[in-house]
Amino acid sequence: MTEVRLRTQLSDGIQDPQLTPPAAAMTATSVATRPIIDPPETAVFGLSELNLWYGHKHAIGDIGMKLPVNKVTALIGPSGCGKSTLLRCLNRMNDLIPGVHIKGSVTYHGQEIYTPHIDPVEVRRRIGMVFQKPNPFPKTIYDNVAFGARVNGYSGNMNELVERSLRQAALWDEVKDDLKKSGLALSGGQQQRLCIARALAVQPDVILMDEPCSALDPIATLKIEDLIRELVQHYTIVIVTHNMQQAARVSDYTAFMLADEHGAGRLVEYGVTSEIFTNPRDRRTEDYITGRFG
């Protein structure tokens, strides 16, 4: 396996990408689009003119933005606007889908990840993923957390790693006496936190979350949201959500996407969450977050 040489330090930052505004004719009543804001913090990801096709289907078009370190960035927009596709571009999960074609640039700590010499498996280790539906393995709680570390050849104290990961996922106190219990026997919210612990065990730099609370009850959702705000002190988090209240509660930055007349997801507005939700400059953003459409 070719060794990937992705930088893990943030001292160099990322060069500003040339940002491309969304197409003017996204809807019949398109209005002026807010300039895309470059966060002042050091960026983990830099996206420039990013396009993706599923076969002949143009899924996302000309996305340009920078995602800051140790912040939560929420991707919002109606179903089918490309949010999850964009999220999966950040750790090359779309590579696993037949017929995918990507153009443009995605840099991670300044290094382009879509080049032949970059190992996508290593990319996915550094940029972990938590999916919409909890997907624990049919193994014990302990083995679920330890699985990725074992695959990656972890040589440290596995017991300490499992405990640390479960503590970080706010699950240790609930399962510490049942580590040999099947992960599938946990409640839905516990299973999702187990999946987060599994992602943390491989010591990633970034955690991607694709609607992590959509299958959970309100109490479990609140626990995940509290966990996100704790984890962002140590990790960069990007979350896809359809829940506007959730985006407002947990994120520092918000990106609003819409599909154009051809079905390609475009970035309409991106900025500080408080500004997006209280003073959006694009009428389409205001209409969406106030429930007028979507």
What does the pLDDT read at residue 20?
Answer: 35
> What b/e sequence results for 184-211 when a residue is b if at least 16 CB atoms lie within 10 Å of its CB, and e otherwise?
eebeebbbbbbbbbbbbbbbbbbbbbbb
Q: Given pLDDT bands bounded at 50, 70 and 90, which one contains residue 193?
A: very high
Question: Residue 222: is it exposed, middle or buried by C-beta count within 10 angstroms (0-12/13-18/19+)?
Answer: middle
190 — pLDDT class (breaks 50, 70, 90): very high
Rounded to 5 degrees, φ, ψ at 75 are -105, 120
pLDDT of residue 292: 79
pLDDT of residue 215: 86
pLDDT in tens, 111-128: 999 999 999 999 999 999
Q: In what order do the strands lie in the sheet with 265-272?
A: 111-112, 100-108, 43-54, 57-68, 265-272, 253-259, 72-76, 236-240, 206-210, 127-130
Half-sphere exposure of 161 (CA within 13 A, CB side): 20
Tell me what the mean pLDDT of segment 268-273 comes to.
95
Distance CA 234, CA 67 (A): 15
**Residue 153 confidence (pLDDT):** 86
Mean pLDDT, rounded, of the chain: 87
The CATH topology of domain 43-289 is Rossmann fold (3.40.50)
Model pLDDT for residues 139-185, shown as the tens digit of each residue: 999 999 999 999 888 889 999 999 999 999 999 999 999 999 999 99
Query: 31-60 pLDDT, tens per residue?
Result: 334 456 678 788 999 999 999 999 999 999
Say what the pLDDT of residue 124 is: 93
User: Looking at this protein, which amino acid is placed at residue 246?
Assistant: Q
Residue 86: CB atoms within 10 Å: 26
pLDDT at 290: 87
Using only C-alpha atoms, the chain has a radius of gyration, in whole angstroms, of 19
- Region 17-30: mean pLDDT is 37
Please tell me the predicted confidence (pLDDT) of residue 38. 76
247 confidence band (pLDDT: 50, 70, 90): very high
Please give the residue that has the higher pLDDT: either 22 or 93.
93
Amino acid 6: pLDDT: 52
| Structural tokens at position 176 | 């510490």
Question: Tokens 């500004």 label which residue?
Answer: 275
How distant is the alpha carbon of residue 189 from its chain centre? 19
Residue 9 pLDDT > 70, yes or no? no
19-23, 73-77, 90-94, 210-214: the lowest-pLDDT one: 19-23
